[in-house]
A and B are shown apart, each in its own frame.
Chain A
Amino acid sequence: MNIYSLSFKNIFENKWRTLTLGSFIFVVSFLLVFFLSFTSTIKSNMEEAISYVLTGDLQIREASTKEEDMFTMKGDWGDLAYLKREQTDKVEQALRGDEQIVESTRLVRHAALLSKDELKEPSLIVGMEPKTNAYKKYVSLLEGRYLSNDRKGEVVLPKQQATKLGVKVGDKINAIAQTKDGQPVQVPLEVVGIGEIELFATFAFAPTYVDLATAQELIGFQAGEATDLVVYLKDRQNAEQELTALTDKLAASGLSASDVKLSTWKDMGGFVLSTVNIEIMMFYACIAILLVIIAILITNIVLMMGLERRQEVGTLRAIGFNRSRIVQIFLGEILLITAIFFAIGAACGLLVNYIFSQVGLPIFSPLSNITGKMLYLNFDVAQVVPALLVVFGIALLSALYPSLKSASLSPVEALKEVS
């Protein structure tokens, strides 16, 4: 036997107190493990979507452009600042043979009006090499197909524009734009697909995807010219290192910072990510409120323990137990309850996470605007670690003061109560 045997036995002797405290520990542990996975999945999905749909993991642009050009709805981003053919050639040369790169494409972004009969809708045209696959993961097709590899003049329309224009797959529309030289241009397009980007519903970003040649025609670019060139990496988290390496390679080929600007998905997606972070913070605020309630509950329970066990404290002090040993007994009791119910709560949280990582978690509006309608959670056992630190930290901190208070009782005072 050791002094913690008393903590252990008290847990089982005071079942209702143990269950009351334990149920709160269970709930907060379960929620923490679940929400850590939930929020990290939302964040990583959003990061991936930003990259796949808009920015790539790395983006190479003309030096005078700004990051926020990407997210302005004016559609004049890129404007007249663009990469010349020799620049895109040099960039592609630098990218060649890099094993970290999954794929890359020249992009042309331009503002255009889409028209069908008398109806006209402003649009953000994104023209890319048809072989590009990255956008397909987050642009969900509602009907039709993605752009083909060998046909010009195809368009994948966002759902809201298709609805406003009253078009369906197979219909013909026109894209009307102004070239970089100020000349009006009209290009016929065939709607081959209608899709939506669920994760961007909050931000109303609805790019219209066309093949690169069509977009070049709308802006008046020659072959090889592009507003930017995007790169998709095997591991997005390595974007910073890859950017440094690529900067060096480009400098070696004669493209300096005054010619091209390199950005990572983090630089470009800052606005979107900060919005998502705010929404994630709201989840954590709810958890924080729950943690405060747990902390108050633990403090009250330990204060009650101290009052109920004044005789025990007085006796222990009389037989030579110092304050720290009594605090250890009290804390031991709380930490044992925390350990038992955290283990159960975390195990249940992991099980739920695993199930939702396999079958997906259906999400409804408005939350689906940032999560998509079906969220497949990232299952990671390591997410238990921060939950463990938070729950044990709260338990320890909230039990410490009342334990010290109870243990500081003078033995004479404690014994007087029962004499």
Chain B
Amino acid sequence: MATVTIKQVEKDYMLGKTSVPALRGVNLTIEAGEFLTLAGSSGSGKSTLLNLIGCLDQPTRGEVWIGDAQVSNLKEKQLNFIRSTMIGFIFQSYNLIPVLNVYENIEFPLLIHKDVSAEERKARVTYFMDAVGLTSQAQKKPSELSGGQRQRVAVARALVTKPSIVLADEPTANLDSKTGIETIELMQEINRKEGTTFIFSTHDPKVMQRADRIIYLEDGMIKQEEQE
């Protein structure tokens, strides 16, 4: 069964009184375990599409399905639940909480999961901190880490709730090319190992080559698709 299904999705933004289309009739199906990139220039609709898949925004028209739930019909409480249990986010600017250390940043999303015990929480944080190679940096604050290390923390934070989908909006944009490739390789390794679906946007050709499938967007429409 497909993890994400996008059917005839359109998204318009209002710029004053003018309606500006960001997505125009997008159809896309993403299977579980895919390592997929959304490629395209700035303004092509990559972030808008990621926001819709991440239940952060609603389409103007069309349907977005996460598993068997059509998210455009869900209420905020249900959307919060999907975001906290099924989706992990990695941001271009890392978006770590500056006052928390590495361990706490990774642990924070689990605090709203009442079904996860303190022991389980500790075990998961320790596991993913080790998986991203930051065990020795556990007590450091984000300001004491390099850009690559911060993005690794963000990856661990996205994975700690064991989501079925991880969305990454330009995860390498603020990193040098070597660190960017390392980050993508880390995500790919987790994708292979854990079976988590990764959907990330990029306009860096070196990064998009690592994906199993590339969706090219242009002017809010899917222009081309490449499968490895």
Contacts and interface: CB of A to CB of B under 8 A. Distances in A.
Given A5-B104, A412-B56, A415-B91, A13 B112 contact: no
B95 A311 contact: yes
Interface stretch (A171-179, A227-235, A262-270, A313-321): A313-321
A418 B93 contact: yes
Contacts of A411: 56
Contacts of B89: 315, 318-319
B220 to A, nearest CB: 16
Given A419-B47, A419-B93, A322 B80 contact: yes
A320 B109 contact: yes
A10 interface: yes
Contact of A419 (B54, B83, B85, B169): B169
A367 interface: no
Contacts of B47: 419
Contacts of A13: 98-99
A13 B100 CA distance: 10
B84 A319 contact: yes
Given A2-B111, A419-B169, A318 B83 contact: yes
Contact of A319 (B98, B99, B109): B109
Contact of A311 (B56, B93, B107, B157): B93
B91 A321 contact: no
Contacts of B127: none
A337 to B, nearest CB: 15
A6 interface: yes
Contact of B84 (A2, A3, A320): A320
Interface residues of A, number: 25
A261 interface: no
Contacts, number: 72
Interface string B38-57: 00000000010001001011
A320 B112 contact: yes
Interface in A308-351: 311-312, 314-315, 317-322, 325
Interface in B130-187: 157, 161, 169
Interface string B45-72: 0010001001011000000000000000
Contacts of B56: 317-318, 410-412, 415
Question: How large, as a class, is the contact surface on chain B?
Answer: 20 to 34
B169 A412 contact: no
Contacts of B111: 1-3
Contacts of A2: 111
Contact of B54 (A6, A318, A410): A318
A319 B104 contact: no
A319 B83 contact: yes
A321 B80 contact: yes
Interface string A109-139: 0000000000000000000000000000000
Interface in A1-60: 1-3, 5-6, 9-10, 13
A409 to B, nearest CB: 12
Interface centre among B51, B98, B99 (most CB of A within 10 A): B99
A413 to B, nearest CB: 10
Nearest to A10: B99
B47 to A, nearest CB: 7
Contact of A315 (B51, B77, B95, B161): B95
Contacts of B74: none
Given A318-B83, A319-B89, A415-B91, A6 B51 contact: no
Interface of B: 47, 51, 54, 56-57, 76-77, 80-81, 83-85, 88-89, 91-93, 95, 97-100, 104, 107-109, 111-112, 157, 161, 169
8 contacts: A1-B107, A6-B108, A311-B95, A318-B56, A319-B83, A319-B88, A319-B157, A419-B91
6 closest Cβ pairs, A-B complex:
A320-B84, A9-B99, A315-B95, A13-B99, A320-B83, A319-B109
